[in-house]
Amino acid sequence: MSKLIVKPEQTPDREGVVLNITPESAQWDYVGFQVVRLAEGQTLRRETGSMEVCLVLLSGIADVATAHEAWPGIGRRMSVFEKTPPYSVYVPNDDRYEVTARTAVELAVCEAPGRGGHAARLIAPEQVGVEMRGYGSIERQVHNILPEQEPADSLLVVEVFTPSGHWSSYPPHKHDRDALPDESLLEETYYFRVQPEQGFAVQRVYTDDRSLDETLIVQDGQAVLVPKGYHPVSAPPGYEVYYLNVMAGPTRVWKFHNDPDHAWIMTKPRT
């Protein structure tokens, strides 16, 4: 299997972790990502240390608290494929959080370096920007959970729903050069869910010089590391594909560069 694919564990560990990506395991500097599955009544307790955290309730209902705040009974969707925006909680570094599941919960723990610049807060579904991006077979639904316009030190978090037979992260784009204002350097993880779950997604990750050029078959519950390069995604006919993106880098700005060979697609007349 490609070193860019991270597979979940079959059995959660003592905390409920089924998938774990750290800067050390990914061999990069900024992004950490975990998927935690909590049984009803189970509690996850952690200190944030030097990292800011965005807790995304992928599915289920939970009580969430930090050192100074508490939000009981948050959560709405029981599956990501309900396609409603999620509840999330932002937690700064040098804080703590506690998540107690009222139902079975799938929780995404998104991490990046913090600088103590912001208070813990709830990100309610009504605060999540929803947009349809692209057209025709490259149309997809985007939920901007923690975009650059909202307060954070490093993290950018977004989820995308790619319909059956469609492409997303398309035209192929990259953000691997610290060359603002034209392009920002952002590491990125993709966490995939597929419906029906026996399906798969296809993701290509490649650079201009093809020193990295991999085409990946990604299954439900797996994650993909994008350390550099272009990274388009395809949903095969018959299967809907969801993914949660976590990005971070030296500057909290999303400035991407389209593959010049394929940039014309966005200027193609729409019929």
pTM to 2 decimal places: 0.96
Q: Which two tokens stand for residue 263?
A: 């940039």
Round to whole Å and give the CA distance between 33 and 104. 20
**pLDDT score, position 267:** 80
pLDDT tens for residues 210-239? 999 999 999 999 999 999 999 999 999 999
Please report, as a single letter, which amino acid is at residue 78: M
Q: Which tens digits make up the pLDDT trace of 30-69?
A: 999 999 999 999 999 999 999 999 999 999 999 999 999 9
Q: Which two tokens stand for residue 27?
A: 């061999």
Confidence check: pLDDT of 269 > 70: no
Strand order, beta sheet including 62-66:
43-47, 96-101, 62-66, 70-74
Question: CA–CA separation, 99 vs 96, rounded Å?
Answer: 10
Concatenated DSSP letters of the chain: --TTEEPPPSS--TT-EEEEE-HHHHTSSS-EEEEEEE-TT-EEEEE-TTEEEEEEEEES-EEEEESS-EEEEE---SSGGG-PPPPEEEE-SS-EEEEEESS-EEEEEEEEE--S-S--EEE-GGGSEEEEES-GGG-EEEEEEE-TTS--SS-EEEEEEE-TT-EES-S-EE-EEEETTTEEE-EEEEEEEEESTT-EEEEEEE-TTSSSEEEEEEETT-EEEESSSB--EE--TT-EEEEEEEEE-SS-----EE-TTTGGGGGSPP-
Q: Which of these, 118, 13, 14, lies nearest to 66 by C-alpha position?
A: 118
Q: What is the pLDDT of residue 266?
A: 84
Domain with residues 5-266, CATH architecture: Sandwich (2.60)
> Would you say residue 72 has pLDDT above 80?
yes
- Please give the share of the chain, as a percent, with pLDDT higher than 70: 98
Mean model confidence pLDDT for the chain: 96
